[in-house]
Amino acid sequence: MLLPMYVLTGDAADVVMADTDWHARRDYIVLKPANRNEVRIALAIAAEMRVPVHPVSTGRNWGYGSGHPPERGTQVILHLARLDRIVDFDSQKGLVTLEPGVTQGMLAKFLECNGARFMTPTTGAGPSCSLIGNALERGYGLTPCADHFAAVMGIEAVLPDGQIYRSPLATWGDDVAPLGHYKWGCGPYLDGLFSQGAFGVVTRMTLALARRPARVESFYFWIGQDDGLEAAVDRIQDLLASAGGPIGGINLVSAERLNLMVKQGSKLPRAAWIGTGALYGDRSQVLATRKSITSRLGPVSKKIMFLNRARLRLAERLEHFASSFGLAPSLRQLVRSTAEILGVLEGKPSEFALPLAYAARMEVPAHDLDPARDGCGLLWYAPVVPLDGPAARRYYRLAVRICSRYGFKPAVTFSSLSPIAFDSTLPLIFEPTQEGSSRAHTCMKELIQQGKEEGFFPYRYGAASMAEAVSSPDVFWRLATDLKRTVDPNGIISPGRYHRS
């Protein structure tokens, strides 16, 4: 029986399966269905032949394995990029129903063309990455709906036996969008099984988008010396707990991380840590929150700066004036970078963060960045760290100690998830050779193991690190595995993904 879908093998499959890591050659078969029915056909054949498949949205999960499965025995990839419809949009409530091939860039263009007052949930991964894929990994972003799985209102998925799962309070039909408006439904919350799970192939999702506020600002603050880290973190915790909604989130970026992100020869402000954040609201809310930021962060910062569209236009005029005299090329770069960052905070996807992956390369493309295609080596370590000064210091010392041992920069960023927790992202950047990859994975394994001993547990794992995720004897992982075996007794969908094989 011929599948009514694209089938890629050989060199064509290798192109699709490019990764930011070294891999021994595997003969992948990449299936590219165009609709839910073709997904059902693919799973039916896989079940009949007892062949496991690994579903991916766009395969651009860079630094976490891209489109690669957790286990080497899985060689059939169900690539869902052709399922790229925006099925329905409620322009009053901001509910959008879409398929896994819909990217940040696609949704942003759709909202702009429709004059919608809502924001695309952006991330640093850029315009070409799937919204559903990121939400299912429990990714977070830069707009007011920062927790992307929290914004999921409904899910449709094909189960291993071909049945169609739909969220309980959503009225779904074959081509009808969900009408439910309540995330939790009724009864056990089963939608969560599809988040960091391998219980089915998600073919549609409804997301609640954030309404575009009257005013969006970014702010920056500089911590001059490394010994100011603890005080700065405690001040950030106090600020987030008291200021609440208008602050979208705060990132605290180490000098090592910033140095990897900028071009060679760029002049950077001297600081051990640089903080960035976003403000959302009307004029009075933003101005009041500015005062809170200044009063709380002022005592630990050498400088605080606020940037909005009006100030950016002024900076652009200054940059144009200076460039007409051949002056201040670094000013041009600063203005353009801050404009991109402000755009991302406004819900406009950008590639501003992707040059980080190219830190070990000589050239960064001017546009259409793809770290896997371009031969970058990148792995991410992403533990959750309590939002308090002593914990942040213990974690940073661990990162410095282990990364230095293997020749990596401790390029730490702390990103607030709430007033009580950070996620820290730490990139391991290397030449994707067998030797470079081995060194990076050894470092990653040690970071995970010693981090757990210190109480720092990753909130997500790369495909090659799944064994580290499920190795503990906790009842949690036993139950996850039991549930997986009940729903997928033949192990058809992504064996080894967040469960014990």
Q: Which domains does the chain have, with CATH numbers?
A: 215-236+250-330 (3.40.462.10)
114: its two tokens:
């429709």
Query: Using CA atoms, how far apart are residues 234 and 445, in angstroms rounded to an integer?
Result: 30
Q: Given a cut of 70, is residue 172 above it in pLDDT?
A: no
On the question of pLDDT at 1 being above 50, the answer is: no
Return left, alpha or beta for 122; rule: phi > 0 is left, psi -120 to 50 is alpha, else beta: beta
> What pLDDT is recorded for position 325?
47
What was the pLDDT predicted at 311?
78
Structure confidence by residue, pLDDT tens digits, 481-496: 999 999 999 999 999 9
Tell which phi-psi region holds residue 173, choosing left (phi > 0), alpha (psi between -120 and 50) or beta.
beta
Between 7-11, 50-54, 232-236, the lowest mean confidence (pLDDT) is in 7-11
Q: Rounded to an integer, what distance in angstroms lies between the CA atom of residue 61 and that of residue 379?
A: 10
* Token code pair at residue 223: 């911590």
Contact 422, 387 (CB under 8 A): yes
In the chain, the largest separation of any two C-alpha atoms, in whole Å, equals: 71
Q: Find the mean pLDDT for residues 470-476.
A: 90
Q: Examine the pLDDT at 141 and tell me if it is beyond 60.
A: yes
Q: Give the span between the Cα atoms of 129 and 81, in whole angstroms.
A: 10
Roughly how many angstroms between the first and final C-alpha of the chain, as a whole number?
30
Distance CA 383, CA 386 (A): 10
Of 18-27, 178-187, 319-328, 431-440, the range with the lowest mean pLDDT is 319-328
Would you say the C-alpha torsion 145, 150, 152, 153 has a positive or negative sign? negative
Q: Is pLDDT at 327 greater than 50 in this prediction?
A: no
CB-count exposure of residue 359 (10 Å: 0-12, 13-18, 19+): buried
C-alpha to C-alpha distance for 402 and 450, rounded to whole angstroms: 9
For the chain, what percent of residues have pLDDT higher than 90?
A: 79
What is the distance between the alpha carbons of residues 253 and 414, in angstroms, rounded to a whole number?
6
- Residue 168 has a pLDDT of 87
**Measured between alpha carbons, how far is residue 489 from residues 161, 481, 482, 501 in Å?**
10, 11, 10, 11
- pLDDT band for position 157 (50/70/90)? very high
Which pLDDT score, from 0 to 100, does residue 342 have?
86
Which DSSP string do the residues of 2-42 spell out, in sequence order? Answer: --SSEEE-HHHHHHHT--SS-------EEEE-SSHHHHHHH
Q: Report pLDDT for 265.
A: 43
Among 294, 247, 303, smallest CA distance to 274 is for 303
pLDDT reading at 326 higher than 60: no
- Between 119-133, 161-175, 211-225, 354-368, the lowest mean confidence (pLDDT) is in 161-175
Span 70-121, pLDDT tens digits:
999 999 999 999 999 999 999 999 999 999 999 999 999 999 999 999 999 9
CA distance 496 to 501: 5
**Predicted local distance difference test score (pLDDT) of residue 436:** 97
pLDDT tens digit sequence for 198-218: 999 999 999 999 999 999 999
The structure tokens listed for 161 are 């036996």
List, in sequence order, every residue forming a beta bridge with 378; answer none if it has no partner: 429
Cα separation, 66 vs 372, whole angstroms: 8
Rg (CA), the chain: 23
pLDDT tens per residue, range 143-156: 888 899 999 999 99
Quick one: average pLDDT of 367-396? 97
Using DSSP bridges, classify how beta strands 53-56 and 76-79 pair: parallel, antiparallel or unpaired: parallel
Summary count for the chain: helices (H), strands (E): 13, 19
Higher pLDDT, 336 or 251: 251
| Mean pLDDT score of the chain | 91
Share of the chain above pLDDT 70, in %: 91
- pLDDT band at residue 264 using 50, 70 and 90 as cut-offs: very low
Q: Output the CA–CA distances (angstroms, integers) from residue 370 to 44, 374, 409, in the order listed.
A: 33, 6, 22
pLDDT at 362 over 50: yes
Rounded CA separation 311/352 (Å): 20
Length of the chain: 501
Place of tokens 């203005």: 335
